[in-house]
Amino acid sequence: MEAIPFAIPYIKPLKFASGEVHVAEHVLVRVHTDDGVVGVAEAPPRPFTYGETQDGIISVVEKIFAPQVIGLTLLEREVIGARVARTVGNPTAKAALDMAIWDALGKTLGLPVTDLLGGYTDRMRVSHMLGFDDPATMVAEAQKMRDTYGISTFKVKVGRRPVGLDIAVVRALRNHFGDDVELYVDGNRGWTAAESARAMREMDDLGLLFAEELCPADDVLGRRWLVGQIDVPFIADESVPTAADVTREILSGSATAISIKTARTGFTGSRRIHHLAEGLGLEIVIGNQIDGQVGTACALAFGAAFQTTSRYAGELSNFLDMSDDLLATPLQIRDGFLHRSSRAGIGFEIDPDKLDHYRQDR
């Protein structure tokens, strides 16, 4: 097992209520089997969401996970999962290991991971995330994404000032595009419950698809009060990193829909959460952990596997803000869609020269 740190600068930093990202300082996790197959995935450290750092991910993979996992086979994924679960936290490190193992399994069997998981469709509609800026710049960014990539679903980051800024952005987008686009908002816990309730009332005429994590789930009663009065699905994202969290938040009335992120629950954990959500009758959105192309290919491979995960546009475009990436064949968004690979495994290949250039351990 290898954990390789790499850094790729963003062309345009992404800013949101809980943080901002200027450089993708991720960790590439590779697993090698005895018969020479290499499985690959990436872990994005998000200290503002999960408390993980690049150094911490490398350390937990090399010092704790590797001794527990080396020697097991690719078919013992539940054993691997149980051993890794003894370590608290570290969601993206665990997820990257899980997905690298699935990648190796798919390559060993000569089958795409999407087909192994469920094989529902060959494509996902793409939603683009609009980070903080002034209203005119955010409208211009959305127009560029529509013109260049055919994207017509936008997630608008809110959670600054509701009146006079956040609401103005959403209204400017609706005025500019009319009914041609789908819009939803993500507060990253930046508003209070009362601010959220007022903002949602003021945006009542804007036809929002969803509202996501507008206020903190830790504001237990405030959040329940808010979710009970708004009439669009309320997505829990960073408040539901595990299946148990999904159960707790949904049954307590603190959310009515969920975001699944393969970056934090891998394929094995995401599949469990998907089945749970299906049983509970929840809407699912495939979310983005500000993934690069490796992480986006993982989210796409999972989202395309099931009906409920491919129904809405998935957040699969953040890699467009990065100056470069590691894939030999870059992902291409066309007419608003990303098509999943038909190759074995997750379906991408790392360009060795690019990895040499961006890795930070040599």
Q: How far is the CB of 355 from Mg ion (least distance, A)?
A: 29
The catalytically annotated residue of 98, 261, 315, 321 is: 261
The catalytically annotated residue of 42, 52, 166, 186 is: 186
Part of the chain binding Mg ion (CB under 5 A), chosen from 50-58, 114-122, 179-187, 352-360: 179-187
Of residues 310 and 318, the one with the C-beta less far from Mg ion: 318
Catalytic annotation on 289? yes
Q: Rule CB under 5 A: is residue 186 a binding residue for Mg ion?
A: yes
Catalytic annotation on 63? no
Distance CA 232, CA 254 (A): 13
Of residues 52 and 186, the one with the C-beta less far from Mg ion: 186
Q: How far is the CB of 96 from Mg ion (least distance, A)?
A: 19
Catalytic annotation on 354? no
Of residues 193 and 236, the one with the C-beta less far from Mg ion: 236
Handedness of CA 31, 33, 38, 40 (dihedral sign): negative
The catalytically annotated residue of 237, 249, 291, 325 is: 237
Number of Cβ atoms within 10 Å of the Cβ of 117: 22
Q: How far is the CB of 188 from Mg ion (least distance, A)?
A: 6
CA 47 to chain CA mean position, Å: 15
Part of the chain binding Mg ion (CB under 5 A), chosen from 225-233, 237-245, 271-279, 344-352: 237-245
Question: What does the per-residue mask of binding to Mg ion show for 82-101, with x meaning CB under 5 A?
Answer: --------------------
Of residues 60 and 284, the one with the C-beta less far from Mg ion: 284
Q: How far is the CB of 213 from Mg ion (least distance, A)?
A: 5
Of residues 98 and 186, the one with the C-beta less far from Mg ion: 186
Q: How far is the CB of 156 from Mg ion (least distance, A)?
A: 11
**In degrees to the nearest 10, what's the CA dihedral of 324, 329, 330, 334?**
160
The catalytically annotated residue of 52, 195, 289, 325 is: 289
- Phi and psi, residue 328, nearest 5°: -65, -40
Catalytic annotation on 180? no
Q: Rule CB under 5 A: is residue 237 a binding residue for Mg ion?
A: yes
Of residues 98 and 212, the one with the C-beta less far from Mg ion: 212
Active site residue ranges: 157, 186, 212, 237, 261, 289
Q: Which residues contact Mg ion (rule: CB under 5 A)? A: 186, 237
